[in-house]
Structure 1
Amino acid sequence: MTTPVKIESVLGMLTILLNDSNYSKWAFQFKSVLRGYKLFDHFDGTLVCPPKFVLNTETRVTKEITSTFQEWETVDLALLSLLIATLSDDAIEHVLGCKTTNEAWSTLEDRFATIFKSIINMLKIEFQNLQKGADYIDKFLSKLKSIKDQLIVVGKCVSDNDMIIVALVGLPREYVIIRTVILAQVTTISLKGFRAPLLNLELNCWSSSLYGCYVCPRD
């Protein structure tokens, strides 16, 4: 049987409070810690609640509560308290009235997984549709990296090559030659190797503009 001391030690390892913006990080930490202590089976329903009442020899239900149920309930309520301790004030509202850890966990998954999916979809759309516009190259690439980092935080892998392809799509027409050259390359280019020619072209554009030879069009 899980002891209160064991549950208290687990609580000290759970440092993230669930809110609308950090479900993936919270769930990852919570699952990792609880599985490490062999306690997550209450949450995912693997450890099914045993019969509450004793059956007599004639298989009729009595009013006597089984010891296995009492032990299971004690642990489950302690774990439910542990779960609640990792929730923000807003998140707690969604588990009010839940009587078991499995009920509470399922409720939180249903609620926050939907929000989580919406966040991922919005980040993907923003990432894929970002345009350089009037931004300098470094600012444009910084915006892309910021979205990429947010996607990685929510568990979506974005490779450097993915970022390069998206950046190429978002570049204006004066970068068409660089786009063509990079897309035609057989070997993979690094982000550093990708950034250098873009900066060189940007510098040349503004140098030409300074001397009145050429004005780099800016969308």
Structure 2
Amino acid sequence: MITESTQTPEPSPTVTPSNSVISTDTSNLLITINAAAQLPVKLTPLNYLSWCTQFNALLLGYDLLGYLDGTHPCPPKPATVSPTSPHTLWVRQDQLLLHAILASVSEQVISLIATTTTSKVAWEKLNQLYASKARSRVMGLKERLSLMHRDSKPISEYLQCVKAIADELALIDLPLSNDDLVIHILNGVAPEFKEISAPVCARDSSISFETLYDKLVEYEATLK
């Protein structure tokens, strides 16, 4: 009598794309960040809020923010240190984060944190150095927006200036609502655009920046 044997097929190996910018070592549970690819905005003395926003998003995505804000402290060092102990893994992950911070700042900034030994210390030092300046930058952008007028500029140039400030505020996680942007634009155009401004303000629904742009540019051409 012949017994037919059945074999369970071996699972196919998992293939990681060769161009992946994140490498996860499943045995050590470490996440490596490629700063050049994933943190394209380098920190300078003038862009702390936009840099911090992109770094925060990455850390939240990989559940690593606890290393920097102190909610995931270093486990106690065991009497016998092993490569896979929680303490060792924490230190290694922390150094990878510190390396990512150092790699994502400009030459002007790196010397200020070159002697830091943990990611938390480096993060806090940058916050102390630039957070207050960043707040003053937000106030400066909002003031520029409120005082901006078309004057003798072509309407397209004026609209581009307004949109550039609005985009900068959005980059630092302080976006203007569409209605606020429209109000700022209409407040800065000359009185000869009142025939466009009045119907826009009387609309029941918001008008997009792109639609308003087309209407104002077309009306300027009519005036000429």
TM-score scaled by structure 1? 0.70
The equivalent of 1:110 in structure 2 is: 128
Instruction: Quote the residue 1:130 is aligned against.
Output: 148
> Secondary structure at 1:43's aligned position in 2?
helix
| Partner residue, 1:45 | 70
Displacement after TM superposition at 1:74 (Å): 4.6
1:179 aligned to 2:179?
no
Of residues 55, 64, 73, the one that matches 1:30 is 55
Deviation at 1:135, TM superposition (A): 1.4
The structure 1 residue matched to 2:185, chosen from 167, 181, 184, is 167
Change in 2 beyond 3 A, CA 1:20/1:3: farther
Letter of the 1:31 partner, please give it. N
1:188 aligns with 2:213: no
* Secondary structure of residue in 2 paired with 1:49: coil
Residues 82/174 of structure 1: CA separation in 2 closer, same or farther (3 Å cut): closer
Aligned length: 196
Matching residue's letter, 2:52:
A
Distance 1:203 1:71 in 2: 65
Which residue in 2 is equivalent to 1:119?
Answer: 137
Q: 1:81 to 1:3 in 2, by over 3 A?
A: farther
Q: Percent identity?
A: 27
Provide the rounded CA distance (Å) in 2 between the counterparts of 1:168 and 1:186: 17
What's the CA shift string for 1:89-120, capped at 9, x where partnerless?
A: 22222224333221211111222222322222
Q: Which runs of 5+ in 1 are unaligned?
A: 55-63, 207-219
Unaligned stretches of 5+ residues in structure 2:
1-24
The alignment yields a C-alpha RMSD, in angstroms, of 3.4
TM-score, with length taken from structure 2: 0.68
Change in 2 beyond 3 A, CA 1:163/1:103:
same
Return the alpha-carbon distance in structure 2 between the equivalents of residues 189 and 53 of structure 1.
63
Deviation at 1:200, TM superposition (A): 5.0
Change (3 A) 1:164 1:73: closer
